[in-house]
Amino acid sequence: MNITVTVNGAARTSDVEPRMLLVHYLREVLGLRGAHVGCDTTSCGVCTVVVDGLPVKSCTMFAVQVDGRSVTTVEGMASNGQLHPVQAAFHEEHGLQCGFCTPGMMLVAAAFLEENPAPTEEEIRWAISGNLCRCTGYQNIVKAVETAARNMASTEVSQ
Amino acid sequence: MTTMETAPSAEHPGWMGKSVKRIEDARFIAGRGNYVEDVVLPNMLHMAILRSPYAHAKINSIDSSAATALPGVVAVVTGELLAQHKLAWMPTLSGDTQAVLATDKVRFQGQEVACVIAEDRYVAHDALELIEVDYEPLPAVVTPQQALEEGAPLIRDDKEGQVDNRVYHWEAGDAAATEAAFAQADRVVSLDTFYPRSHPSPLECCGCIADVNPASGKATIWMTSQAPHAIRTVFALVAGLPEQNIQIISPDIGGGFGNKVPVYPGYVVATAASLLIGRPVKWIEDRTGNLISTGFARDFHMTGELALNNEGKMLGLRVKMLSDQGYAYADAQPSKFKAGLFHMVTGSYDLPAAHVITDGAYTNKAPGGVAYRCSFRITEASYLIERLVDVAAVEIGMDPAELRRMNFVQPDQFPYRSATGFVYDSGDYAPALDLALEQAGYTELRAEQAARRASGATKQLGIGIASMTEALGAGPSRDYDILGIKMFDSAELRVHPTGKAILKLGVRHQGQGHETTFAQIVAHELGIPPTDILVQEGDTDNTPYGLGTYASRSTPTAGAAAALVARTLREKARKIAAYLLEVAEEDLEWEGDRFSVKGAPEKVKTIQEIAFAAYTNHPQGMDAGLEGVKYYDPPNLTFPFATYLVVAEVDVETGEWKPIKLVAVDDCGVRINPMIVEGQIMGGLTEGYAMAAMQQITFDEDGNCIGSNFMDYLIPTAWETPHFDLYDTCTPSPHHPLGAKGVGESATVGSPAAFVNAVVDAVAHLGVRNIDMPVLSSRVWEAIHHAQG
């Protein structure tokens, strides 16, 4: 099937098998390897990407389902050579260790902050609870999201 | 939060004890990591594994003709084909054998039976469904107790001389002295407990891509391995390939936790297939395959008895342990110790006598067990003693903190020889306990607990303490080896002409931050900033030999090697500086990143200037260059310790509980990068909570695995995971060049007992003495109702 998808702002047209998973399309057809596969059952979230503004688990969606839609992956987070505030905060707060869950976790956090720019710790923990991390114990991820929220708010004020 | 920081000085220019932000983060936050699945080679094939649906069955026949005929399928590999190349069986890391692909029988549900090699991963999986296997089911043995019964089905009938299901019998300590101690005891308390089967479950499953060049014979294998050098040697011994023709590359690893130490059948079949077909073969495991077939952990049935006098002084410890090994004895552990370091069970306590009896049994389950985020089975040992101390406290009516304190090994007893043969390097346990009690507000918590008990509140409060000591950092090589390969480690350091450096190590990180921590060690010793140092690990052609990263051994071994090789280079730099400054070596002073002339401090040569001279203007008669290799064989293990304190609230009507406070005081000696150390501790605490609260792999009576995906095998999310308050004390290791000890696993080892102690403490006044892990609400409810009759 022919599909046309806007991926990280650029239109991509491909001929894919109807059964091809979105995560395999992104990784193997488009060469965007930031989304990983961890569980095959929509439980862990390492495959998370953003489709039309909403985080989805790309191991449970077919590539053909995003025909005509817009997908953002971790490779599309930085702009003009500047890290997204969420990326910068994950580094600043030691919010990652092995890095395998990190792209999905950051995309969820960024989408969540669009919706709730000044969240409480509890709201952050709930928002990221669809994504597993085995290394960090989450505390520094939560701190990273808090730091990103603060930095995004102060950038907006200064603008 | 307190952190030990070394004040900047001439000797310490500021890199030790600094929370340097991680150098390796840049690629991960950009989605530019390079994990095994990211490796793509031209002309690559894909492999999928057919697994047994039965726990125990005879294989009458395998018909792969329909699968082979499917367009896109290149080959179907069976055990029969491997047997023709003498590859149907392979050794485990404990010197047992396990099947690569089953030939005669399957011995656990999920065992590898056949592999499809295809042009496309979807086609490979399609073809699995076309393979017809005629199984003849056999009775399954699903507990070690069943396995050791008279007349139990013999699981390993393939092994000559194996007449029953016993794997090992091993003892430590002094039986007679322990009997004598028990004979003098005023009180004996006991605990029967089961540490359930768990699984490390790193978020990246296992996988490899094997590329055997048909012309040169060179096998390059990208692999999810925590121990690439050891794997290379095992491959050479198993497959008979010349070792110089095997290159194992562990690229970025998405978590390991012990799961990625063993050699798995998938690696071997993919390599054999690439060799036979002459094309690269990629195998990426799915989550079910990971959960049901790769290294599980724990599964120890334990009985502990503690002898005390009326004042609470511990006199002796008697322990029996029965281990469920699955169908193969495949622990990744030192060969001298059959139950790993389980005999470290005396923990933090000065026990004059101890005797430990261990037995292992085969069952129809996946082979194991790996040390899941612990130093060779110390997790189980620590859990037993820390639970047993709490049981003793209740039985003799003492405060559990006081009972611990009065029995701690005292600071003046170090180096301390334990009753089971360990020599603890250093420790000072009471200050860590006291700090935890103070930070938690222990006295107030006990008062609050008493008030809630008195009022009969629905939500009762429990306080759980665990004061653990761990033994980690193997070698020394005289006692520690895996399959005869001694457990030392290594570092190679090259300083380039422009003063930048590359540090190559025999270990392999999986998130522990080596690219920053080890760069800091070199920075500390030579004054080259960490960002100017590239740390390389995981490629066996390009790093010196080492046993890998597990059992919290990297900083104790490779970290020491890095410091020592840097010091060797500093001595050569001194000679070059003396030559450049035209003074005697003894007239020079090291200032952290430069040599200056005593009495003439304006005359200096920086390490960068010296490095340039090493390649452009070195003294005649001296070898050019500034590089070296150091192999480090530690004189002893290191013994970090901690007190973990958990406050839990338990609803006595429903059995629901949650941790409402967690205070961790860790002492791992000198901290090189406190931020990374704290990250490791928080990760460890979370896995401790996971085991205490939810993680378990169970089996039904037919040996079907319950827990084969993340919907059945529960892993904590950010929502359940408690907030942690971290503190530290610092008791340096006397023998490590930097005073450091390992830390990556301490919290997983020590904290499970603290969680369980907290829940049991909350309902102890109702008569509850024990609840086995995972402490599910249903178990709490049952325990209360059982105790209340």
Q: How far is the C-alpha of B579 from the C-alpha of B565, rounded, in Å? A: 22
From B632, B656, B672, the end of a domain falls on: B632
pLDDT, average across residues A18-45: 98
Q: CB–CB of B371/B257 below 8 Å?
A: no
Q: HSE on the CB side for B35, CA within 13 Å?
A: 29
User: Which residues does chain A have within 8 Å of residue B512's beta carbon, measured at their own beta carbons?
Assistant: 97
From first CA to last CA, the distance across chain B in angstroms is: 46
Query: Is A100 near chain B, with CB under 8 Å?
Result: yes
- Catalytic annotation on B745? yes
Task: Please give, rounded to a whole number of angstroms, the shortest distance from the CA of A155 to a CA of chain B.
Answer: 21
Task: Please give, rounded to a whole number of angstroms, the shortest distance from the CA of B326 to a CA of chain A.
Answer: 24
Q: Which of B637, B635, B618 is nearest to B627 (CA)?
A: B618
Choose the catalytic residue: B115, B205, B206, B374.
B374
Residue B18 lies in a domain: no
Q: Are B356 and B282 contained in the same domain?
A: no
User: Which residues does chain B have within 8 Å of residue A147's beta carbon, measured at their own beta carbons?
Assistant: none
Task: Please give, rounded to a whole number of angstroms, the shortest distance from the CA of B657 to a CA of chain A.
Answer: 18
Residue B151 lies in a domain: no
Q: How far is the C-alpha of B701 from the C-alpha of B142, rounded, in Å? A: 7
Q: What CATH number does residue B623 fall under?
A: 3.30.365.10
Query: Which band of pLDDT confidence, cut at 50, 70 and 90, is reported for residue B14?
Result: confident
Query: Is B32 near chain A, with CB under 8 Å?
Result: yes
Q: Are B327 and B287 contained in the same domain?
A: no
Task: Please give, rounded to a whole number of angstroms, the shortest distance from the CA of B695 to a CA of chain A.
Answer: 13
Q: Are B624 and B494 contained in the same domain?
A: yes
* More confident of the two residues B745 and B10: B745
Task: Let me know if B38 is exposed, middle or buried by CB neighbors in 10 A (0-12, 13-18, 19+).
Answer: middle
Nearest residue in A to B291, CA atom: A39
Query: Is A69 near chain B, with CB under 8 Å?
Result: no
The pLDDT of residue B475 is 87
Q: CB–CB of A86/A126 below 8 Å?
A: no
Q: How far is the C-alpha of B656 from the C-alpha of B402, rounded, in Å? A: 29
Q: Which of A27, A126, A135 sits opposite B683 (nearest CB)?
A: A135
**Residue-averaged pLDDT of chain B:** 96
Query: Is A65 near chain B, with CB under 8 Å?
Result: no
User: Which residues does chain A have within 8 Å of residue B22's beta carbon, measured at their own beta carbons?
Assistant: 91, 94, 96
**Residue among A98, A126, A147 with most chain B CBs within 10 A, to mutate:** A98
Give the A:B interface size as CB pairs under 8 Å.
172
Task: Let me know if B788 is exposed, middle or buried by CB neighbors in 10 A (0-12, 13-18, 19+).
Answer: exposed
Residue B483 lies in a domain: no
Q: Are B337 and B456 contained in the same domain?
A: yes
Q: How far is the C-alpha of B755 from the C-alpha of B759, rounded, in Å? A: 7
Query: Is B785 near chain A, with CB under 8 Å?
Result: no
Q: Are B337 and B216 contained in the same domain?
A: no
Residue B1, pLDDT > 80, answer no
Residue B373, pLDDT > 50, answer yes
Token pair in block for residue A97 = 């260790």
Domains and CATH numbers, chain A: 2-76 (3.10.20.30), 85-158 (1.10.150.120)
- Catalytic annotation on B206? no
Q: Are B581 and B511 contained in the same domain?
A: yes
pLDDT, average across residues B370-386: 95
Residue B10, pLDDT > 80, answer no
- Catalytic annotation on B620? no
Inter-chain CB proximity B511 and A83 less than 8 Å:
no
Residue B13, pLDDT > 60, answer no
Q: Are B235 and B330 contained in the same domain?
A: no
- The secondary structure of B421-453 as a DSSP string is S-EE----HHHHHHHHHHHHTHHHHHHHHHHHH
From B270, B293, B316, the end of a domain falls on: B293
For residue B252, what are the β-bridge partners? B35
Query: Is A98 near chain B, with CB under 8 Å?
Result: yes
Residue B546, pLDDT > 90, answer yes
Inter-chain CB proximity B683 and A90 less than 8 Å:
no
Q: Where are the alpha helices (DSSP H) in chain A?
A: 22-24, 85-92, 102-115, 121-127, 139-158
B 257-276: CB under 8 A from A: 257
Q: How far is the C-alpha of B202 from the C-alpha of A132, rounded, in Å? A: 10
Inter-chain CB proximity B710 and A73 less than 8 Å:
no
Q: How far is the C-alpha of B359 from the C-alpha of B324, rounded, in Å? A: 9
Q: Are B347 and B463 contained in the same domain?
A: yes
The pLDDT of residue B188 is 98
Query: Is A130 near chain B, with CB under 8 Å?
Result: yes
pLDDT, average across residues B116-126: 98
Q: What CATH number does residue B122 fall under?
A: 3.90.1170.50
pLDDT, one tens digit per residue, over B250-296 is 999 999 999 999 999 999 999 999 999 999 999 999 999 999 999 99
Beta-carbon count within 10 A of B719 CB: 13
Q: What is the 3-state secondary structure (H, E, C) of B570-610?
A: HHHHHHHHHHHHCCCHHHEEECCCEEEECCEEEEEEEHHHH
User: Which residues does chain B have within 8 Å of residue A132's beta carbon, measured at their own beta carbons?
Assistant: 203, 710, 715, 717
Residue B395 has phi, psi (to 5 degrees) of: -65, -40
pLDDT, one tens digit per residue, over B512-529 is 999 999 999 999 999 999
pLDDT, one tens digit per residue, over B741-785 is 999 999 999 999 999 999 999 999 999 999 999 999 999 999 999
pLDDT, one tens digit per residue, over B453-481 is 999 999 999 999 999 999 999 989 999 99
Asked if omega into B475 is within 30° of 0 (cis), the reply is yes
The pLDDT of residue A159 is 62
Residue B233 has phi, psi (to 5 degrees) of: -65, -40
Percent of chain B with pLDDT over 70: 98
Task: Please give, rounded to a whole number of angstroms, the shortest distance from the CA of A25 to a CA of chain B.
Answer: 13
Q: Where are the alpha helices (DSSP H) in B495-644?
A: 514-526, 554, 560-581, 607-616
Element at B182 (helix H, strand E): helix B175-183
Residue B363 lies in a domain: yes
pLDDT, average across residues B290-312: 97
Residue B4, pLDDT > 50, answer no
Domain encompassing residue B537 = 25-31+489-632
Q: Are B466 and B502 contained in the same domain?
A: no
Query: Which band of pLDDT confidence, cut at 50, 70 and 90, is reported for residue B8?
Result: very low
Q: Which residues of A43-52 are buried (b: 16+ CB within 10 A; e: fewer)?
A: bbbbbbbbbe
Residue B72, pLDDT > 70, answer yes
Q: Are B600 and B511 contained in the same domain?
A: yes
Choose the catalytic residue: B226, B247, B460, B512.
B226
Inter-chain CB proximity B709 and A126 less than 8 Å:
no
Q: Which of B595, B510, B568, B530 is nearest to B227 (CA)?
A: B510
From first CA to last CA, the distance across chain A in angstroms is: 45
Q: Are B346 and B445 contained in the same domain?
A: yes
Q: What is the pTM of this model?
A: 0.97
- B416 in helix, strand or coil? strand
Residue B194 lies in a domain: no
Inter-chain CB proximity A32 and B715 less than 8 Å:
no
- Which residue carries 């080679």 as its tokens? B41
Q: How far is the C-alpha of B212 from the C-alpha of B495, rounded, in Å? A: 34
Domain count, chain B: 3
Nearest residue in A to B201, CA atom: A134
Query: Which band of pLDDT confidence, cut at 50, 70 and 90, is reported for residue A156?
Result: confident
Inter-chain CB proximity B28 and A96 less than 8 Å:
yes
Residue B119 has phi, psi (to 5 degrees) of: -70, -20
Q: Which of B339, B326, B421, B334 is nearest to B380 (CA)?
A: B339
Task: Please give, rounded to a whole number of angstroms, the shortest distance from the CA of B748 to a CA of chain A.
Answer: 11
Residue B380, pLDDT > 80, answer yes
Q: Which of B732, B782, B774 is nearest to B756 (CA)?
A: B774
Q: How far is the C-alpha of B718 from the C-alpha of B699, rounded, in Å? A: 28
Query: Is A29 near chain B, with CB under 8 Å?
Result: no
Residue B449 lies in a domain: yes
Query: Is A67 near chain B, with CB under 8 Å?
Result: no
Amino acid at B623: D
Q: Which of A96, A100, A129 sits opposite B718 (nearest CB)?
A: A129
Residue B191 lies in a domain: no
From B606, B632, B658, the end of a domain falls on: B632
Task: Please give, rounded to a whole number of angstroms, the shortest distance from the CA of A4 to a CA of chain B.
Answer: 22
Element at B464 (helix H, strand E): strand B459-469
Query: Is B686 near chain A, with CB under 8 Å?
Result: yes
- Which residue carries 């840097």 as its tokens? B566
Q: Are B353 and B446 contained in the same domain?
A: yes
Residue B195 lies in a domain: no
pLDDT, one tens digit per residue, over A98-154 is 999 999 999 999 999 999 999 999 999 999 999 999 999 999 999 999 999 999 999
Nearest residue in B to A20, CA atom: B122
pLDDT, average across residues B379-403: 98
- Catalytic annotation on B705? no
Inter-chain CB proximity B287 and A130 less than 8 Å:
no
**Residue-averaged pLDDT of chain A:** 97
- The secondary structure of B66-100 as a DSSP string is HHHHSTTEEEEEEHHHHHHTT-SEEE-TTS-EEES
pLDDT, one tens digit per residue, over B416-462 is 999 999 999 999 999 999 999 999 999 999 999 999 999 999 999 99
Q: Which of B496, B597, B490 is nearest to B548 (CA)?
A: B490
The pLDDT of residue B9 is 46
The pLDDT of residue B654 is 98
